Structure 1
Amino acid sequence: MSLLNHLRNKSFWLIDSLKGGKIKNHLDEIASVLNDVNSPESLKIREQHLENLLKHAVDSTPFYSDYKNINNIEAFPVIKKTVIQKNFKDFQSAPYIQKQNYKVSTSGSTGVPFFLFQDKNKRYRNTADVLHFSGQSNYKIGNRLYELEVWRKHNKKSFYKSWLQNIIQFDISKLTDSRILSFINLLKKSKQEKNILGFASSYEQICQYLDSNKTDLSNLNINAFIANSEYLNSYTKTSLSNYFNTPVLSRYSSEEIGIIAQQTISSKEHFVINHASYYIELLDLETDKPVKPGEFGRIVVTDLFNYCMPIIRYDTGDIAKLIELENGQTKFEKIEGRKMDLILDTKGNIMSSFIVYTKFYNYYKLIKQYQFIQQGEKEYEVKLNVLDKFPYEKELVESIKKDFGSDATVTITYVDEIPLLASGKRKKVLNNYKKA
């Protein structure tokens, strides 16, 4: 770590110390709980946080007031985003309404705006969560961090704040070849230790560029790439790791909640669940019963630290699969994305999005973008934005039919652009049939 970055690190912790060590205390507790989530000490801390949160919610919010004297979280309703939107004021805690709170918002993968308020302690906890999981990718406060996202006025840091935090905000709204080359040149200019945080789709585009352009990527001093907001497919994870000779990890988080799970240097394939800050359930796709390890279920989250707007049993809309390790610890083996965009074969069986992504790996040098849409029970559409020509239509259709059903109808549509969502993401898998 350079002298300037060392000063950044010391300054951050000095300021936190002067404010009572709020972030440091949270960070220590997170590390203690996640070090052994099933130890008596960890279980006691987690149970106490859950008990405190439930009591606070029923005592101070209109929405949960009917659940007084109920200590079993399974007796509370599973709620969705629409429930919070329709009953927004009823979720607000009376003692916190006049306090300093912070608005957090997301356009969501559906493009529907959604926001919550968070209290100051929740903000401290979120910062500590970020520091903990970033630390699990060898990041240290003060080191250079590149953030690849769609940057606009509402989310872009000031020049002074970016410099102070040693963050480079790189805009990816138009990630052309020349733009990718500019990013690589930025990495080459800096000899500092660095970490990269960005949309998985931007990493995929970088890999596609590198597949076709021989580029010197030696001595870049990158600790790790972290992919957020989107599904990280195996092609991108493997290719990026090979090109840059560094770990590539996936983070599962949301603007309105925080970091729910992440792959780490010591858990590169499975997601470490953030049991320290959330009570997390994996429930059946149709009922509110827990699923067993090895089964897909809905990710349902209770935020243990947002006292301003207590959110209990919030259905994120995403699905995952648990794996139980030999030591009894459970992790997410896979996180597949939103339930509404699950793809079905012609017999109605759920198909992993991984199957869809593999259909296009052989054609990456020919296509700029692709999108797979289920339009009907047995109707599928593939949108392709190609570089020039695509002479493999028949092969692609047959490959899709092999997994989705010989009776599938597959249409290839050529487009000039697959537009971004309001969130800056570009969905590769859609299910219009299930929505209908």
Structure 2
Amino acid sequence: MFWDKKIETLKPDELRELQLKRLKKTLHQVQHVAFYRNLLSEAGIKKSSIKSLEDIRKIPFTKKQDLRNGYPFGFFAVPLKQVVRIHTTSGTTGKPTVVGYTRNDLDTWSDLIARNMTMVGITQDDVFQNMVNYGMFTGGLGFHYGAEKIGMTVIPSATGNTKRQIEMIDDFGVTTIHCTPSYAMHLSEVAEEMKTSLDSLKTGLFGAEAWSESTRKALENRLGITAYDSYGMSELFGPGVAFECQERDGLHIWHDCYLVEIIDPKTGEPVSDGERGELVVTPLAKEAMPLLRYRTGDVTMLMEDGCLCRRGKKIARITGRSDDMLVIRGINVFPSQIEHVLLKIPEVGNQFMVYIDRINHLDEMTVEVEINRDYFSGELADLARLQKKVVKELRDSLELRTTVKLVEPGSLPRFEGKSKRVIDRREVI
């Protein structure tokens, strides 16, 4: 099951040669970005400094905060007229991280998605229902264009309206779905209530949140599918960076397009294969927004070679984050984003708590926030208006539905040291 057998089965020496060639090209491309010109100059790194793949460790890391500081187009390496699409990811404050794509970038990205889907046996004969967020986030359009490249029949159903989603699966004979695993579990329960067995389904592609083997087995039993794990992030194109093959024991990362390191998140030093750490990625085939040694914040490990499909080392399933980012229904949220929104509302105070629960297999976020003493009247009508205002402001900023509870001034806990404002009561599904 190969989309591009030659590139997917390169021998180790040939792969390293290609990686080094593309790394040097990326080093040339980043010279168009002021941040990298300064970074490399301060580190004393010239093009001639990188003679082997191991020399990449001479280059300082790129962090998410660097991208935020470059808002909006500070990391673009091509003129804006060559950027044919822009996506954004969540930022810690009011401004998102901006990601740009040239036409070649979009073609490369959709090609990676096509590799992933072909690797698990999906063909142009399949009918694909894409039940993830379209728009500024990359999950929807990435898989959409990859599936169309294969020649599949694509249904861009996006999120929500679960009963209608189920009707489309039955009516259109859908064979393959893509969504978060928690939404797939919810889908299975609603299907049971509707007394439909979704007989046409064969394959489920799931990602954007951590999930376990027990959830895989439950989804396969409930939906009658084979379930595969997917990994990606917008800064690295989007989904499609890594994917399970039919062995379903770790995810293949496309080494011709990504140079991968696993580091100790505290020291920045490399760790051994089989040892968990933070995933650091240098994309090797990006034009509009090349990156060097990007710290993803995702915790995983490199697995030993030995997969029967000969696609190189795999990464293990993502098990967590090395920072404070939350993933809620596939959307990235930082506590500082919530704080930024609340501080702009004079009627509420600066003390808040966030609770994350999983209810009926779906993530739910509740924000408790103190009312500002100067505005605390106790009138129910005033409280109702304020609650609606806070809900709207959070929804507009996070693009996520939240429950807001207003509490009396002084009622939330205070912290002498580092505050712990988020209580995540979910278990890994």
Does the TM-score normalized on the shorter chain lie above 0.5? yes
Q: Tell me: CA distance 1:62–1:169, structure 2 relative to 1, closer, same or farther (3 Å).
A: same
1:237 to 197, 216, 227: 216
**Residue type matched to 2:184 in 1?**
Y
SS of the residue aligned with 2:156?
Answer: strand
CA distance in 1, matches of 2:67, 2:356: 35
Q: Tell me: CA distance 1:250–1:384, structure 2 relative to 1, closer, same or farther (3 Å).
A: closer
Could you say which residue in structure 1 is the equivalent of 2:117? 134
Matches within 5 A, 1:139-288: 139-141=122-124, 143-151=126-134, 166-173=153-160, 179-191=161-173, 194-209=175-190, 213=193, 215-217=195-197, 219-220=199-200, 222-258=201-237, 259-264=240-245, 266-288=246-268
Structure 1 residue 205: Cα displacement: 1.6
Structure 1 residue 253: Cα displacement: 0.9
CA distance in 1, matches of 2:278, 2:137: 31
Structure 1 residue runs of 5 or longer lacking an equivalent are 1-25, 174-178, 344-378, 388-416
CA distance in 1, matches of 2:360, 2:247: 36
Matches within 5 A, 1:97-112: 97=79, 99-108=81-90
Structure 1 residue 129: Cα displacement: 0.3
Pair 1:34 & 2:24 matched: no
Could you say which residue in structure 2 is the equivalent of 1:92? 76
Could you say which residue in structure 1 is the equivalent of 2:345? none
Structure 1 residue 292: Cα displacement: 1.5
SS of the residue aligned with 1:50?
Answer: helix
Structure 1 residue 144: Cα displacement: 1.9
Structure 1 residue 90: Cα displacement: 5.1
**What do residues 181-236 of structure 1 show as CA deviations (whole Å, max 9, x unaligned)?**
433332222236x21111222112224446x648442641x341101222233333
SS of the residue aligned with 1:45?
Answer: helix
Q: Tell me: CA distance 1:275–1:382, structure 2 relative to 1, closer, same or farther (3 Å).
A: closer
Structure 1 residue 237: Cα displacement: 1.2
Q: Tell me: CA distance 1:384–1:205, structure 2 relative to 1, closer, same or farther (3 Å).
A: closer
Could you say which residue in structure 1 is the equivalent of 2:376? none
CA distance in 2, matches of 1:335, 1:306: 23
**CA RMSD across the alignment:** 3.9
Pair 1:311 & 2:266 matched: no
C-alpha contact (below 8 Å) 2:278/2:322 kept by paired residues? yes
Identity rate, percent: 18
| TM superposition score normalised by structure 2 | 0.64
**Residue type matched to 2:57 in 1?**
E
**Residue type matched to 2:247 in 1?**
S
Q: Tell me: CA distance 1:201–1:79, structure 2 relative to 1, closer, same or farther (3 Å).
A: same
**What do residues 232-253 of structure 1 show as CA deviations (whole Å, max 9, x unaligned)?**
3333311111223321011101
Q: Tell me: CA distance 1:116–1:171, structure 2 relative to 1, closer, same or farther (3 Å).
A: closer
**What do residues 342-368 of structure 1 show as CA deviations (whole Å, max 9, x unaligned)?**
99xxxxxxxxxxxxxxxxxxxxxxxxx
**Count of aligned positions:** 324
C-alpha contact (below 8 Å) 1:198/1:227 kept by paired residues? yes
Pair 1:116 & 2:99 matched: yes
CA distance in 2, matches of 1:134, 1:76: 34
**What do residues 255-285 of structure 1 show as CA deviations (whole Å, max 9, x unaligned)?**
3323221112x23131111112111111112
CA distance in 2, matches of 1:267, 1:291: 25
Structure 1 residue 424: Cα displacement: 5.3
CA distance in 2, matches of 1:382, 1:64: 37
Q: Tell me: CA distance 1:423–1:335, structure 2 relative to 1, closer, same or farther (3 Å).
A: farther
Q: Tell me: CA distance 1:269–1:167, structure 2 relative to 1, closer, same or farther (3 Å).
A: same
Structure 1 residue 50: Cα displacement: 1.4
C-alpha contact (below 8 Å) 2:137/2:234 kept by paired residues? no
C-alpha contact (below 8 Å) 1:79/1:315 kept by paired residues? yes
Pair 1:68 & 2:40 matched: no
